[in-house]
Amino acid sequence: MLALNNVTKNYGKFTALENINLEFSGGVYALLAPNGAGKTTLIKMLTTLIFPTKGEILWNGDEIVKLDASYRDSIGYLPQDFGYYKNHSPREFLLYMSAMKCMDRAAAKRRTEELIEVVGLSDVRDKKMRKFSGGMIQRVGIAQAMLNDPKILILDEPTAGLDPKERVRFRNLISSLSKDRIVILSTHIVSDIETIAGSVIMFKDHKLLTNDAPTAICGTLAGKVYETDDISAITAPYLALTEHQDGGRTITRFASERDCSNVAVSAAPNLEDVFLYVYRDEAV
Amino acid sequence: MVFLYELKKLAATPALWGFIMLCVAFNCFITITQESGAGYPNFVSSVGKTAGTTLDRSFQEMLAAFPDDADGFKAALQTETADARDVFENYDIIEIGERYIGVHNADGKIAEIFRNKYADMQTHVDSLAAADESMSLYFGGGTYYLHQSLFGDVFGRLLMESMLCASLLTLLLFGYERSHNTELTAYSSKTGRRLLLTKLSASITASIIAFGLLAIVSLGTYFTLNDFSGIWRSSVSSGFNKMHDLIAGMRPFTTWRSFTVLGYFLACTGISIGIVAAISLFSAAVGVFLRNTYVGFMIVVLFNALCVVAPIAFSGRTFIHYIFTLSPIYLWGLRIRWFTDGSADTLWKNFELLGLAASGVLFLILYLTANKHFARRDLS
């Protein structure tokens, strides 16, 4: 189990994360928050790239900084801005990363071939990555993260910059890789996690806001979300969420603390509604 | 395995090969265009092969048996060697030391160290005199020119280029992950920040390989044009060899121990490799702190400039003046005096070994400090 106990991270006088307590025991955990909320800070602490100012991070009861290489042997990490060697082919790069992960040469070759198949890069395994699309690079990224068959897979904004088709493909890939391991997925794209996350972790004001199942989080807005084609008729205070077209009408989805069922249709809340409601005062 | 990958990163850097090729081309060009009058040294070398390098009666007889040549080389060598005398006989190097003390206006501990050094050297000079060490051929009348040309010019270029190359490739390797945006994946892997130790060993190895490549081509060209094969066994302290400075003028080339030309050449090569490794170590320390190749290179250049300027800024009455003369760049400047008393520029015996050891220890401490700092540094 991976646990954060009272973790705080300060950069000088700026507090990026304050007093975070979390436990990860298996399945897909989605870190959902706007940009700048501290998702990447948390992930970098989990990967020992940065260190908590206060508190501790434990892996099976031992502090990860003290575990050092043995802890890092348990993790696979895809950074938000995944860097690679442009003059390497996927196969060369994966073999290099295998060496960095101290893998046996024969096992590294076998695992590299397996993962190239899994991420669908068989046709370009020996092509230089210089001309690869963003999606192909991300697939190389996920493959390198999976090389050591990690117990903890950490993916920071893995779908950023991908087209919708690539995002769907990537979601499916993550879902298939989530068996028997902890997957920590950071995103600010709600649709990425709605179907695959077992738990959603949200931060607000650099503190932990919630850590719960998507349905439970959506339940916090139950009875507060409505849809109407005449938003001007709403006299109660409300927060406009989204708009969509339906038969030539503009349907406005909104949230209100008061009962608006007499002038609008009640709707089942989704994660996007919660996201927009929770972060209504922040730039998203 | 990671070590080999680190070396491969350097081997796959075209700019590095470009730099090495430029240096090789430059060295070959200079050596070929400066080659002049090699006929005489090559003749002396051929004599050395047959007659040996000890200037005794047997040598004169064997030289006399050589056929006369149109260039008059034989006659010239006969004249030079017939007049040869033991330059260490009655050579008062203590008096030379006093002149150096005087020019620095040194007193107290500094003057004492100077005096002790030259007293020790006088003992060695006396033993050289007893052994007739200076009665050795080397290149006869061409010795000073060829000694300066090899150990001053060729080694000077070779070592300067190797130091630049070592610094560049080390900083390149330490800045590699940052410039390729691969720091996060590299340092979160099992190897983690221990990668820096691998980078250090790869950098030093690559620096020595680069020195080797430059040396093979540059020295190979030089020795192709200047035949040393007959004089390798000659003493480097031959009476024909001189050292020169403004205070003492021309004086015998006196080393702390007896060296053949080959032994001296190998010792100088060893010191050169040590200096290249020290520069690589220093660059690695800078690279760990900065992780930026080009800014790091500027810092290394500035540090070396400081080491050149500092002895001028501080009086020869202060220890700090002499401490800076132990820096690698200053050792480069004094390369023609390695293993000698070092003239007025250096205070201690065996300054090249002392400088190398001091630089090595200092840069190692600097590197370990940088490494320790990096181990707890936030990477973002």
Q: Do residue B182 and residue A102 have CB atoms under 8 angstroms apart? A: no
Looking at the structure, tell me whether residues A242 and A165 fall in a common domain: no
Per-residue tokens: B227:
């035949």
Characterize the bridge pairing of strands A199-204 and A27-32: parallel
Say how many CB pairs under 8 Å bridge A and B. 76
State the amino acid at position A240 in one-letter form.
A
The whole-angstrom separation of Cα A133 and Cα B365 is 45
* Residue in the block written with tokens 């087209």: A163
DSSP character at residue B152: I
State the amino acid at position A111 in one-letter form.
R
pLDDT, tens only, B205-224: 999 999 999 999 999 999 99
Looking at the structure, tell me whether residues A180 and A59 fall in a common domain: yes
Q: How many Cβ atoms from other residues are within 10 Å of residue B292's Cβ?
A: 17
Cβ neighbours of residue A11 under 8 Å, at least 6 residues apart? Answer: none
A279 domain residue, yes or no: no
Per-residue tokens: A101:
């992960």
From B180, B188, B378, residue closest to A72, measured CB to CB: B188
Total number of domains in chain A: 2
H helices of chain A, in order, are 39-46, 64-67, 69-72, 90-100, 105-118, 134-146, 164-177, 214-219, 271-278
Looking at the structure, tell me whether residues A211 and A250 fall in a common domain: no
The whole-angstrom separation of Cα B237 and Cα B147 is 11
pLDDT exceeds cutoff 70 at B36: no
pLDDT, tens only, A168-221: 877 888 888 788 899 999 987 787 788 788 899 999 889 999 999 999 999 999
> Which residues does chain A have within 8 Å of residue B188's beta carbon, measured at their own beta carbons?
47-49, 72, 75, 77
Q: Do residue B180 and residue A84 have CB atoms under 8 angstroms apart? A: yes
Query: 3-class DSSP state for residue B22?
Result: helix
Looking at the structure, tell me whether residues A236 and A101 fall in a common domain: no
The whole-angstrom separation of Cα A84 and Cα A99 is 15
State the amino acid at position B29 in one-letter form.
F
Q: Do residue A85 and residue B182 have CB atoms under 8 angstroms apart? A: yes
Taking the alpha carbons at both ends of chain A, their separation in whole angstroms is 32
pLDDT, mean over chain B:
92
Q: Do residue A101 and residue B189 have CB atoms under 8 angstroms apart? A: yes
pTM of the shown model = 0.89
The whole-angstrom separation of Cα A87 and Cα B304 is 34
Looking at the structure, tell me whether residues A51 and A161 fall in a common domain: yes
Helical (H) or strand (E) element with B124: helix B108-130
A278 domain residue, yes or no: no
* Residue in the block written with tokens 């998203």: A284
pLDDT computed for residue A169 by the predictor: 79
The whole-angstrom separation of Cα B89 and Cα A204 is 89
A224: Cα within 13 Å, side-chain hemisphere: 19
User: Is residue B105 exposed (0-12), middle (13-18) or buried (19+ Cβ within 10 Å)?
Assistant: exposed
> Whats the size of chain A, residue-wise?
284
* Residue in the block written with tokens 């996007």: A272
A185 beta partners? A30, A155
Characterize the bridge pairing of strands A199-204 and A207-212: antiparallel
The whole-angstrom separation of Cα A145 and Cα A77 is 5
* Residue in the block written with tokens 């700090």: B320
> Which residues does chain A have within 8 Å of residue B191's beta carbon, measured at their own beta carbons?
69, 99-102
State the amino acid at position A220 in one-letter form.
T
Looking at the structure, tell me whether residues A195 and A91 fall in a common domain: yes
- The residue of chain B nearest to residue A71, with distances taken between CA atoms, is B190
Per-residue tokens: A48:
């020992």
pLDDT computed for residue B35 by the predictor: 62
The dihedrals phi and psi of A280, each to the nearest 5 degrees, come to -65, -25
b/e burial code for range A221-260 (CB count within 10 A of at least 16 → b): beebbbbbeebeebeeebeebeeeeeeeeebbbbbbeeeb
Q: State how far residue A245 is from chain B, nearest Cα, in angstroms.
A: 43
Q: How many Cβ atoms from other residues are within 10 Å of residue B376's Cβ?
A: 9
Q: Where along chain B do its domains lie?
A: 2-375
pLDDT computed for residue A284 by the predictor: 44
A163 domain residue, yes or no: yes
pLDDT, tens only, B134-157: 999 999 888 999 999 999 999 999
Q: Do residue A148 and residue B5 have CB atoms under 8 angstroms apart? A: no
Looking at the structure, tell me whether residues A141 and A239 fall in a common domain: no
Looking at the structure, tell me whether residues A190 and A237 fall in a common domain: no
Characterize the bridge pairing of strands A182-187 and A152-156: parallel
State the amino acid at position B370 in one-letter form.
A
Query: 3-class DSSP state for residue B219?
Result: helix
Q: What ipTM score was computed for the predicted complex, to two decimals? A: 0.89
Looking at the structure, tell me whether residues A200 and A244 fall in a common domain: no
DSSP string, B287-319: HHHH--HHHHHHHHHHHHHHHHHHHHHS-TTSH
User: Is residue B37 exposed (0-12), middle (13-18) or buried (19+ Cβ within 10 Å)?
Assistant: exposed
Percentage of chain B exceeding pLDDT 90: 76
CB B8 within 8 A of CB B169: no
The average pLDDT across A136-165 equals 88
A60 domain residue, yes or no: yes
Report CA B225 to chain centroid distance, whole Å. 21
Per-residue tokens: B23:
């240096």
Cβ neighbours of residue B370 under 8 Å, at least 6 residues apart? Answer: B284, B285, B286, B288, B289
pLDDT computed for residue A236 by the predictor: 85
Taking the alpha carbons at both ends of chain B, their separation in whole angstroms is 27
State the amino acid at position B271 in one-letter form.
I
The whole-angstrom separation of Cα B239 and Cα B275 is 29
- The residue of chain B nearest to residue A74, with distances taken between CA atoms, is B190
pLDDT computed for residue A282 by the predictor: 61
pLDDT, tens only, A23-49: 999 889 999 888 888 899 999 999 999
- The residue of chain B nearest to residue A64, with distances taken between CA atoms, is B188
The average pLDDT across B95-124 equals 93
> Whats the size of chain B, residue-wise?
380
Q: Is A277 on the interface with B (CB under 8 A)?
A: no
Q: Which domain holds residue A242?
A: 223-267
A85: domain CATH number is 3.40.50.300
pLDDT, tens only, A80-114: 889 999 999 999 999 999 999 999 999 999 999 99
DSSP character at residue A181: S
Looking at the structure, tell me whether residues A105 and A35 fall in a common domain: yes
Q: State how far residue B201 is from chain A, nearest Cα, in angstroms.
A: 16
pLDDT computed for residue A181 by the predictor: 92
From A73, A102, A144, residue closest to B185, measured CB to CB: A144
pLDDT computed for residue B70 by the predictor: 78
pLDDT exceeds cutoff 70 at B235: yes
Q: Which one, of B313, B253, B278, lies nearest residue B121 by Cα?
A: B253
From A50, A87, A144, residue closest to B380, measured CB to CB: A50
Looking at the structure, tell me whether residues A80 and A162 fall in a common domain: yes
Q: Is the dihedral angle over the CA atoms B115, B116, B121, B127 positive or is it negative?
A: positive
pLDDT, tens only, A260-274: 888 889 999 988 899
The average pLDDT across A8-23 equals 93
Looking at the structure, tell me whether residues A79 and A145 fall in a common domain: yes
A261 domain residue, yes or no: yes
Per-residue tokens: B164:
């630049």
A153 domain residue, yes or no: yes
Per-residue tokens: B120:
């020790």
DSSP character at residue B71: T
